[in-house]
Amino acid sequence: MTKPNITERKSFNMFQNNYTENSFLFKGLILKNLKIDEITETVIAQVEMPVKEHNCPHCGNITTYIKDYRIQKIRDLPIIDKPLIVFFRKRRYICKICNATFTENNDYIKRYSHFPCRFYMTAIKEVSTLQSFTSIAKRMHISVSSVIRWFNNISFPIPKLPSCISIDEFRGNAGGEKFQCNIADPVNHKTIDILPSRKAENLYRYFHKFSQAERLSVRTVVMDLSPLFRSVVKNSFYNAEIIADKFHVIRLVKNSMENVRKRVQKQFHHEKRRWLKRSRSLLSKNESKLTTTDKIELNRILNSSSELEKAYLLNKEFQKIFYQQDKNAAKKALSMWLLLAAKFDIPEFKHCISTFTNWSTEITNIVNTNLSNGFIEGYNNKIKVLKRVSFGIKNFARLRNRILFLQ
């Protein structure tokens, strides 16, 4: 072990003087000594309780008679980036009435505990950040199993349902299921619960744990274009209006246009193929943000293929649906778009036609609302980071608690 350098020694001396005078680290205790072990680079503290009257836990008699002392070695929170070992000199009192012996009460460490109360609280607080149990244990100089065991004591009850919920899936690979389900509040940006799978029977069983009155109070449900989710919602929330997530709907059209570009591109010679690939971002760029050079280049792209020009027009016209004044106007605009898409008869847009025909009501419900799955999609990315730093979490209950504890 290397000895502390001069800067560390000065830092510790200032720290030592401050703590010896004020002792705010050991509130309610008397700090007898504080030093640093230069061999192990560990801070050593000796503390004890002030003498005071205690009630006998057996007969209630007040006593100040001390029978003997016990020294308890305690690992406390690291200070100045060094482990802190506390030697707590505990008194054992004796009752003169019933001759019972008992240990003095203190707020520093609970009976039968190996760590102070603040140590547990800090460890649990660390779990609320995007880091693994291993990194927390390493920094706090404790075992990984201890951190996991403490965290397993935390539980989240089934919450109340808000008037607006959003549903999405994510790949959790926990509890024997590949996909888990995230239920969130898109208005208050809060995750409500994490479900063990995306299977219809499991979702239906979960939602029907809530009373009918509570399910009837749900007025809006936001989701992607999942027939499974829609079926469950319609059979669980009878008063709810289903809103398709705008991002997923628009992405479907953009992906179709991109697939047309890829197909057309293959028909060109090598240089023209490279040019079209480099310029592909212009097809999706907002028209108001196009520069004069961009517009010239875009016209070249559209003039290179009639099918690509039609695909671009479909994408452009589809965006206008969401700027309609009301749902009726949006429904009419969507019907016109479907007719135009059918007329163009582009293979890549056939999936859009069938999907939007089936989801026309949910898509037009997007108009005049700011509700989307944006929060839940962002939170799913947070879950991916948590899984990555943890190298996966196979235990579903632990995964659920960690996700809910991140908020």
Instruction: Indicate whether 101 and 53 sit together in one domain.
Output: yes
The average pLDDT across 241-263 equals 95
- How far does CA 79 lie from the centroid of its chain? 30
Task: Domain of residue 388: give its range.
Answer: 164-241+372-405
Identify the pLDDT of residue 291. 92
Is residue 16 in a domain?
A: yes
pLDDT at 23 over 90: no
The average pLDDT across 329-358 equals 96
pLDDT at 22 over 50: no
Q: Which amino acid is at 249?
A: V
Is residue 110 in a domain?
A: yes
Instruction: Indicate whether 11 and 69 sit together in one domain.
Output: yes
Largest separation between any pair of C-alpha atoms in the chain: 104
pLDDT band at 21 (very low <50, low <70, confident <90, very high): very low
Is residue 123 in a domain?
A: no
Instruction: Indicate whether 11 and 103 sit together in one domain.
Output: yes
Instruction: Indicate whether 10 and 99 sit together in one domain.
Output: yes
Q: What are phi and psi of 62, to 5 degrees?
A: -85, 130
pLDDT in tens, 298-333: 999 999 999 999 999 999 999 999 999 899 999 999
- E strand or H helix at 313: helix 306-319
The sign of the dihedral angle between the CA atoms of 285, 286, 287, 293 is negative
The average pLDDT across 277-295 equals 91
Is residue 152 in a domain?
A: no
Is residue 380 in a domain?
A: yes
Instruction: Indicate whether 401 and 258 sit together in one domain.
Output: no
pLDDT at 245 over 80: yes
The average pLDDT across 244-261 equals 95
From 85, 114, 143, give the residue that closes a domain.
114
CATH of the domain at 237: 3.30.420.10
From 114, 130, 150, give the residue that closes a domain.
114
Instruction: Indicate whether 224 and 252 sit together in one domain.
Output: no
pLDDT in tens, 93-121: 999 889 889 888 888 888 888 899 889 88
CA distance 215 to 165: 11
Provide the angle, in degrees to the nearest 10, between the axes of the packed helices 306-319 and 327-344: 170
The average pLDDT across 199-214 equals 94
Is residue 138 in a domain?
A: no
Instruction: Indicate whether 228 and 277 sit together in one domain.
Output: no
Tokens of 198: 């995306």
Q: Tell me the pLDDT of the chain averaged across its residues.
A: 89
Residue that wins the pLDDT comparison between 212 and 140: 212
Instruction: Indicate whether 237 and 378 sit together in one domain.
Output: yes
Domain count of the chain? 3
Identify the pLDDT of residue 20. 47
Instruction: Indicate whether 74 and 90 sit together in one domain.
Output: yes
Instruction: Indicate whether 48 and 109 sit together in one domain.
Output: yes
Beta bridge mates, 86: 45, 74
Is residue 144 in a domain?
A: no
Grouping H, G, I as helix, E, B as strand and the rest as coil, residue 37 is strand
Instruction: Indicate whether 190 and 285 sit together in one domain.
Output: no
Instruction: Indicate whether 229 and 195 sit together in one domain.
Output: yes
pLDDT in tens, 45-81: 999 988 888 888 889 888 888 889 999 999 998 887 7
pLDDT at 4 over 60: no
Is residue 133 in a domain?
A: no
The average pLDDT across 205-227 equals 95
pLDDT band at 387 (very low <50, low <70, confident <90, very high): very high
Say which residues have a Cβ less than 8 Å from residue 317's Cβ, sequence separation at least 6. Answer: 337, 340
